[in-house]
């Protein structure tokens, strides 16, 4: 290589990129991170209490004008650019674009920080054991290349370094009182006790206990007490969709990026939009081409190691835009989450606008392999009490059909019901199928002349069946809580982007059926790593980010071992 600007060039300094940059910088490698969004200053966060600006006008998320994504249900249809808010229940909060700026999605996430269950690492085998060999017909589901035990130390590291509050339910195989009795074994207790529960948690816990279920406090990547120099949560209620103004919510913007900068080995190039991996067509990457947005000039960074950590969708788009798809597997195996959601009202005040949504309890009694196969449910999911950060505009978007949306009747409805709302949610992943994938849209381009990503996906009947099952259980719980009204979201919702997309650059040891190895190293280009949820071959029924972080720590340690010492100093 003739030109070398750094030891590593990394694209996307979000949840994954922040962790990897910190590890490599600490190992002595000189890292240049290209980030298409801003490097936010902390004083921006204290001005955040503005629902219109953040929740409705997407102040810190990309818009369709700059980052179009098209969607079609099947190959017979033409992809149309996604509006970000659709449907009778409008589902705004669940129908979100990928994130933007240093910290990525970890800035304004809700901070549910679940581990996956053991069975979710061997989902294909588990389904076959429960339902017989034919159950996987029509899918491309395979087991992960490693199991839960391999990832456990990295889960632990993520919980400690990012800061997760909760209560263990299974310490080294011993069931713990008050925790989740169904969780996979953990080596250590959470670094912090659970958050203070929100008002709706009292009736939720009473109801589910009375029904014989096993509630436990949701694991939250939010400080329940001062932790590692960061403040405890103030229960401000502007949490999901907003940055944390006191740094209590885990974000690489307040944890790993500052640590990486402190080494002197990380250079952040913000407003730098990567367009292409530069490669010689024979298995070696030279660097990354990008547009410097302030000047609109095209530039290049050259380095012996290239890492894409730009989220599952953009990672795939960049590979395809760079002509890196030798085996045709890039973009295949797209999976996303469907969120069964119940909203309703209780007789008492619930004040759902206070505190983070995650200050709540969960039951895992209907999750994955715990549901009786006779129910016909392929994969269940947790039922989570959604307990806070419900500001008025979003609350209105959650209102059921028939509820007035303007005028005096609307005002009266809000007056009577806004402070009495409660809700529950769950997650159900689709299985990877050949007919669901992402590729480059042949017609729609972004303002920089690059093809938009096109998603071909629809909700399979098997997913809808599982969702109906969970919604029915939620209704039973709501009735037990004394609900005065309840409504649910459709089992086949209108959204196909949920910020929980995975599978698009599947990991595996077989280079003909996967894109990267278990560390994220490209099968096609030896010095290129593609890291994040896109590596997951199948999906759990839980929010992905703690698992994505655990995977990123595993990759980061591998990279520091393999490349940190080797490249450090080369470019000095
Ligand atoms: C509102 C919201 C709530 C969420 N709540 C939860 C939750 O409670 N629990 C959970 O587990 N997960 C949650 N998530 C999902 C979570 O944010 C993602 O799983 C996580 O951020 C993915 O990490 P990542 O590093 O792969 O992508 P990101 O964190 O999105 O980082 C990708 C980065 O790459 C940058 N980038 C993209 N394209 C380019 C390019 N071409 N050039 C340069 N830079 C680029 C982006 O600007 C971004 O900074 C939530 C997400 C949102 C938006
Ligand atoms: S609710 Fe807590 S963690 Fe969330 S933004 Fe407010 S202070 Fe931060």
Query: Which parts of 252-367 fold into alpha helices (H)?
Result: 256-262, 312-321
Q: Which residue has the tokens 């990525």?
A: 104
**Stretch 93-119: mean pLDDT:** 86
How do strand 69-72 and strand 80-81 relate by DSSP bridges? Answer: antiparallel
Residue 450's nearest CA partner among 298, 283, 307 is: 298
Half-sphere exposure of residue 207, counting CA atoms within 13 Å on the CB side? 23
- Residues lining ligand 1, CB < 6 A? 11-17, 34-37, 96, 98-101, 104-106, 108-112, 240-241, 273-274, 309-311, 314, 499, 532-533, 543-545, 548
371 Cα–ligand 1 center, Å: 31
pLDDT exceeds 60 at position 546: yes
Q: pLDDT above 90 covers what percent of the chain?
A: 80
CATH number of the domain located at residue range(s) 8-563 in this protein: 3.50.50.60
Burial of 408 (C-beta count, 10 Å sphere; 0-12/13-18/19+): exposed
Cα separation of 100 and 64, whole Å?
Answer: 13
pLDDT exceeds 80 at position 498: yes
Q: What is the pLDDT of residues 396-420, one digit of tens each?
A: 888 888 888 889 999 999 999 999 9
pLDDT exceeds 70 at position 427: yes
pLDDT value, residue 156: 98
Asked if residue 394 lies in contact with residue 374, where contact means CB atoms within 8 angstroms, the answer is: no
Q: pLDDT above 70 covers what percent of the chain?
A: 95
373 Cα–ligand 1 center, Å: 35
pLDDT exceeds 70 at position 172: yes
| Domain regions of the chain by residue span | 8-563
Q: What is the pLDDT of residues 212-238, one digit of tens each?
A: 999 999 999 999 999 999 999 999 999
CA 317 to ligand 1: nearest atom: 41
**Stretch 151-159: mean pLDDT:** 98
pLDDT exceeds 70 at position 46: no
pLDDT exceeds 90 at position 249: yes
Residue 431's nearest CA partner among 535, 540, 509, 327 is: 540
Q: What is the pLDDT of residues 363-377, one digit of tens each?
A: 999 987 788 888 888
Q: What is the pLDDT of residues 314-359, one digit of tens each?
A: 999 999 999 999 999 999 999 999 999 999 999 999 999 999 999 9
Averaged pLDDT score across all residues of the chain: 92
CA 103 to ligand 1: nearest atom: 49
pLDDT exceeds 50 at position 87: no
Residue 383's nearest CA partner among 483, 467, 264, 459 is: 467
How does residue 442 score in pLDDT terms, banded at 50, 70 and 90? very high
Q: What is the pLDDT of residues 2-33, one digit of tens each?
A: 789 999 999 999 999 999 999 999 999 999 99
Q: Which residue has the tokens 């700026």?
A: 101
CA 97 to ligand 1: nearest atom: 53
């Amino acid at each position: 290589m003739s030109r070398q600007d750094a030891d590593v060039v990394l694209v996307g300094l979000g949840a994954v990129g922040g962790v990897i940059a910190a590890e490599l910088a600490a190992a002595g490698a000189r890292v240049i991170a290209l980030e298409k969004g801003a490097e936010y200053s902390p004083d921006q966060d204290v001005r955040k209490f503005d629902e219109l600006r953040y929740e409705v006008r997407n102040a810190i998320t990309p818009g369709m004008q700059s980052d179009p994504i098209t969607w079609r249900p099947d190959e017979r249809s033409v992809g149309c650019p996604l509006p970000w808010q659709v449907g009778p229940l409008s589902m705004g909060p669940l129908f979100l674009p990928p994130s933007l700026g240093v910290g990525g999605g970890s800035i304004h996430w809700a901070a549910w920080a679940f581990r996956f269950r053991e069975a979710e690492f061997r989902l294909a085998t588990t389904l076959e054991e429960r339902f017989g060999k034919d159950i996987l017909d029509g899918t491309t589901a395979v087991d992960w290349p490693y199991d839960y035990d391999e990832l456990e130390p990295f889960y632990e590291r993520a919980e400690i370094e990012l800061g997760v509050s909760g209560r263990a339910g299974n310490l080294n195989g011993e069931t713990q009182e008050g925790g989740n009795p169904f969780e996979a074994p953990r080596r250590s207790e959470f670094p912090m006790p659970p958050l203070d529960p929100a008002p709706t948690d009292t009736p939720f816990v009473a109801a589910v206990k009375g029904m014989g279920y096993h509630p436990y406090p949701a694991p939250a990547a939010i400080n329940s007490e001062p932790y590692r120099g960061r403040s405890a949560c103030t229960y401000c209620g502007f949490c999901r969709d907003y940055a944390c103004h006191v740094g209590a919510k885990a974000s690489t913007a307040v944890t790993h990026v500052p640590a990486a900068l402190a080494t002197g080995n990380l250079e952040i190039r913000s407003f730098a939009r990567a367009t292409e991996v530069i490669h010689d067509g024979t298995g070696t990457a030279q660097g990354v081409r990008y547009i410097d947005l302030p000047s609109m000039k095209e530039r290049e960074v050259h380095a012996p190691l290239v890492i894409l950590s730009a989220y599952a969708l953009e990672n795939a788009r960049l590979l395809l835009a760079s002509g890196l798809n030798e085996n045709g597997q890039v973009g295949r195996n797209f999976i996303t989450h469907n969120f069964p959601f119940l909203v309703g009202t209780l007789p008492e005040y619930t004040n759902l606008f206070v505190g983070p949504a995650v200050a709540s309890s969960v039951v895992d009694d209907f999750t994955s392999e715990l549901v009786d196969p006779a129910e016909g449910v392929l994969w269940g999911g947790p039922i989570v009490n959604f307990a806070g950060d419900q500001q008025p505009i979003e609350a209105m978007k959650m209102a059921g059909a028939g509820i007035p949306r303007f005028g005096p009747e609307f005002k009266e409805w809000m007056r009577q019901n806004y402070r009495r709302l409660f809700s529950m949610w769950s997650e159900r992943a689709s299985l990877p199928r050949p007919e669901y994938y992402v590729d480059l849209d042949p017609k729609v381009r972004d303002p920089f002349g690059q093809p938009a990503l096109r998603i071909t996906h629809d909700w399979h009947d098997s997913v809808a069946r599982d969702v109906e099952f969970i919604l029915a259980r939620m209704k039973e719980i709501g009735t037990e809580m004394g609900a005065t009204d309840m409504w649910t979201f459709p089992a086949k919702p209108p959204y196909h982007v949920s910020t929980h997309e995975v599978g698009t650059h599947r990991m595996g040891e077989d280079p003909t059926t996967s894109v990267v190895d278990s560390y994220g190293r490209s099968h096609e280009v030896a010095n290129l790593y593609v890291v994040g949820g896109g590596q997951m071959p199948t999906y759990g029924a839980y929010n992905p980010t703690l698992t994505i972080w655990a995977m990123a720590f595993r990759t980061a340690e591998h990279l520091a071992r393999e490349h940190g010492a080797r490249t450090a100093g080369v470019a000095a």
